[in-house]
Structure 1
Amino acid sequence: MARQVGETARWDWGGGEGSGKIVQIYTESVTKTLQGSEITRHGDDDNPAYLIEQDDGDRVLKLDSELK
């Protein structure tokens, strides 16, 4: 599923659901320091990685396969 910058993304988180807006798309491996933790996702053309900003301003890094 092709997603775009600015689109809302949702994922399972704990007993509920997380959501936020896509701010960047990566089709290669990417490592970001988010909330003090180094997070890596191995994005590619078939399963891109997304940097997503939540309503509270925190950012998460998710693969397309992790999203709903």
Structure 2
Amino acid sequence: MKTVTIIGGITGIIMAVIAYFAELNSWMSIEAIVTIGFAGYVLIITAIAYFLLAWLYKGSKKLDVL
């Protein structure tokens, strides 16, 4: 699962960068740019959320539960 999440995060970063340069250089319509950029941001946020939740879960196993 970590490998898939890392690939998704990297893909999201690439999509966001491509959308930025496409908007900067007017390569395509604004609707396509916004869609690609939004999908990239969703992938980035999902990857970060997965790793944060995995880190919290691992940390909670170390704590003594009442």
Bigger proportion of residues as strand: 1
Q: Which category of TM-score, normalised to the shorter sequence, fits these structures?
A: under 0.3
| TM-score computed with the length of structure 2 as normaliser | 0.21
Bigger proportion of residues as helix: 2
Instruction: Return the structure number with greater relative CO, CA threshold 8 A, min gap 6.
Output: 2
| TM-score computed with the length of structure 1 as normaliser | 0.20
